[in-house]
Structure 1
Amino acid sequence: MNLLTFRFAPSPNGELHLGHAHSVLLNRKLADAFAGRMLLRMEDIDTTRCTPAFKTGILRDLAWLGVAWEGKVRRQSEHFGNYEAVLHRLIDEELVYPAFMSRGEIRAFIAESGGGGRDWPRDPDGVPLYPRADKTLSTQERKRRIAHGLPFAWRLDVDAAMQRIAAPLTWLEYDDEALSGTHRVEARPQDWGDVIVARREIPTSYHLAVVVDDALQQITHVVRGSDLYSATAVQRVLQKLLGLPEPAYFHHRLILDAEGRKLSKSAGDTGIAALRNAGVTPETVRRMAKL
């Protein structure tokens, strides 16, 4: 059997909370159980919100919890060249296109559609799908807008992508935290519409960077929260288009607050640093994280 490789990949735009503790401890537990390894990645492509202080805080929290990882920490902000090279492949193969509509323009376009936008299709997160208007622009018009410095994002042409694949698209999902059984899940990237894969100023997005990194780091098992379950479809289509290996997935349960809400960094929910400063022990945090 090949060496099983797991990863914990937080975005350092806030402090870790109990939900992160559950995820990293589960990944570490599985790596140990299968005599594999666990890697640490900082998903910090947003160089404005992802600060050195938050990065330092993550390392401090993990050390306090007693979580170890193998190898050097991969920081995405140091590898934009990797993502840009892959982006140019997608551009050259006409699988992405420049999209110029701002959020306000998107809202206005949808509002002017039939029914005032009430029947406009939405992605699994409830966000309206991007209008198809930019797909009709000529190559000359696209180049003119880019040359004039108009802001834009590179969006995946999901219709062209699925035509290129021309085969059923699925992923392998484990049934439980023990990784004791599996089933195949139909991947439906069409449900997300033409997602952003890069921006003019940043040559990647979360989806593009994560599939490139998982391949470069030889990740065999992606164990993460169930809030990313549906997004796996987008990553699977990118893996297929780019000829990248397919990891196996397990989307674990989320740790919820007393009102049943998902914990959030932005809301400062049950931060590990705050618990530590309050005198809570690592052992207690492990119990609170339900692992």
Structure 2
Amino acid sequence: MSGPSQPIFRFAPSPNGYLHIGHAFSALFTHHWADALGGVMLLRIEDIDTARCRPEFVDALLEDLAWLGLSWPEPVRRQSEHFDDYARAAKTLREQGLLYPCFCSRAEIRAAAGESTDPEGAPLYPGTCRGLGPTGRAERLASGAPVQWRLDMERAIAAAGPLLIRETQPDPSAPLTVRPADPARWGDVVIVRKDTPASYHLSVVVDDALQGITHVTRGMDLHASTDIHVLLQALLGLPSPVYCHHELVLDEAREKLAKSKGSESLRALRAAGWTAVRVRKELGF
């Protein structure tokens, strides 16, 4: 598919709804970068959330991307087919003593967090279950209570040592820069969810390594997540790509487009008479 020195990019949508114009921008942006650097863009289906992701949305996104004139090598990696890969990575972290079981509900976390929030504005987990001793953890696990596994951030940072993020600006000719990561601001993040054997953070890091991704281009809404990703890469002995974060396409209220808000889909624009050429022109491609 590619030589060892060829840049490898990826566009990785989640099939939990129809793609909107913000997704189109991200896909076209990534394709533009891959073209400019003589690389290749892979497509990855990030469907670890089997409750929300549906086959019809996979079919729709493949159709939408082809309509935009994009292509990608086959086969396409689908996360739901690779849970064993994520389980092995979680096992490695567990064996390092870096994961602990958490039994808290969302309501309990909100109540305990107070005004403290993570970089995304969600309640910052206060480490409630980190204080459970071996007996308490064993009893709760034996009870069959819903459990997720969190990263002991303090121990993880100590184990990883200083962390640097290699990144560049949204221009293929921009120089590479290096900055320190600050994963501590995230607190003890979830690594294995209650409903699936991975979190977004774990699965994306494992996938990027397995697919040989050299460059990650994505929206600014994931900029802070890079702190967690370079930490996990260090802990798991995985390579760290170059990161580039682009501005987001906003709606009339200057808010981020989102499937959950019902932002107008590419399919709806196509039904309204938009052409792929018009979409590309509107987005600067």
Shorter-chain TM-score tier: over 0.9
1:267 matched to 2:261: yes
Q: Deviations over 1:90-116 (max 9, x none)?
A: 111110100111112223334xxxxxx
Indicate whether 1:232 and 2:226 are aligned.
Answer: yes
Give CA deviations for 1:173-204 in whole Å, capped at 9, x if unaligned: 10232242121122111000000000244110
The CA RMSD measured in Å over matched residues stands at 1.3
Is the 8 Å Cα contact of residues 18 and 288 (structure 1) preserved in structure 2?
no
The CA distance in 2 between the partners of 1:141 and 1:172, in whole Å, is 41
Checking the alignment, whether the CA contact within 8 Å between 1:5 and 1:38 is kept in structure 2 is: yes
Aligned to 2:123: 128
Aligned residues: 282
8 Å Cα contact 2:37/2:172 also seen in 1: no
Matched, 1:16 2:19: yes
Query: Residues of 1 paired with 2:210 and 2:264: CA distance?
Result: 33
Contact 1:224–1:250 (8 Å) recurs in 2: yes
1:62 matched to which residue of 2?
65
Matches within 5 A, 1:49-198: 49-110=52-113, 117-118=114-115, 121-166=116-161, 168-198=162-192
TM-score normalised according to structure 1 size? 0.94
1:26: Cα distance to partner?
1.3
TM-score by length of 2: 0.95
Question: Any gaps of 5 or more consecutive residues in structure 1?
Answer: 111-116
Contact 1:11–1:50 (CA under 8 A) maintained in structure 2: yes
In structure 1, what is the equivalent of residue 217 of structure 2?
223
Provide the rounded CA distance (Å) in 2 between the counterparts of 1:47 and 1:224: 23
User: Given that residues 42 and 75 in structure 1 are in contact (C-alpha distance below 8 angstroms), is that contact kept between their aligned partners in structure 2?
Assistant: yes
**1-structure distance, mates of 2:282, 2:112:** 46
**Equivalent pair of 1:19/1:289 in contact (CA under 8 Å):** no
Q: 1:287, CA displacement in angstroms?
A: 1.6
Name the % identity.
49
SS in 1 for 2:213: coil
The letter of the residue matching 1:134 is C
Letter matched to residue 176 of structure 2: T
1:17-73 C-alpha deviation (Å, 9 max, x unpaired):
111111111111121222211100000000010000111100010111110112311
Gaps of 5+ in 2: none
